[in-house]
Homo-oligomer: A and B are copies of this chain.
Amino acid sequence: MQFSSLLIEEAVNAFASLPGIGKKTALRLVLHLVQQPPSESVHFAQAISTMRANIQHCTTCGNLSDQHVCSICRDQRRDQSLICVVESIRDVMAIEETQQYRGLYHVLGGVIAPIEGVGPSDLNIDTLVQRAQHPEAREIIMAISPTIEGDTTIFYINRQLESVDVAVSNIARGVSFGGELEYADEVTLGRSIVARTQL
């Protein structure tokens, strides 16, 4: 792509460095900003740089936060005895979206994946064990993706928590609500029969 303007070229390259944005999309975004009043670009750039400069990881749970401790951990109305273990911040948001959970979280920052070079020491597992030892903690809920790496992680954490006086549970796995049974994959359907629950 040839640019008659170096300024445009640099802005396009900046956008194109983001994942999933190619040069053509980047150019479309830049030309959009050019058509808008300059204040819009100033606001846009400021939101990004302010965010990056001030964002931090919650020292308790590892969630992204504006402060030292995140708003979820600070919320005293939440059930302090429940800790839901998730892979990433995105999972925290997905669970919050359901409005079904009022406990706390613990963000691991990934799952154990030896092939990709991610071992237990790369994840926030030590801090989880510390939190589980707190007298207030009653149950650790594992909300990890049902993959081989996810199950490995659950197994590892469960072993670490064996000596701690805390219940460890796993979120339910089975057929999706609203899905047709015949379209559910074999493994899910098979497991959902084995793990059936009493009515």
Binding site for B on A (CB under 8 A): 1-8, 10-11, 13-14, 17-21, 25, 27-34, 38, 40-55, 63-66, 70-72, 88-90, 92-93, 96-97
B41, A48: Cβ atoms closer than 8 Å: yes
B45 touches A5 (CB 8 A): no
Considering the complex, give the chain B residue whose CB is closest to the CB of A50: B7
Q: A11-B47, A53-B38, A55-B34 are in contact. Are A66 and B28 (CB under 8 A)?
A: no
A14–B47 Cα gap in the complex (Å)? Answer: 7
Additional A-B contact list (9), CB under 8 Å, known A4-B72, A20-B29:
A4-B93, A5-B70, A6-B66, A7-B50, A8-B51, A31-B88, A33-B48, A44-B48, A45-B45
A111 to B51, CA, bound (A): 40
Question: 14 pairs across A/B with beta carbons < 8 Å?
Answer: A4-B64, A5-B64, A7-B50, A10-B51, A11-B47, A11-B52, A18-B44, A19-B28, A20-B28, A30-B51, A41-B53, A45-B48, A45-B52, A46-B49
What is the copy number of this chain in the assembly?
2
- Nearest opposing residue in chain B for A54, CB measure: B7
Q: Which chain B residue lies CB-closest to A64?
A: B5
CB distance from A132 to the nearest CB of B (A): 22
- Of all chain B residues, the one with the shortest Cβ separation from A38 is B52
Do B49 and A42 touch across chains, with their CB atoms under 8 A apart?
yes
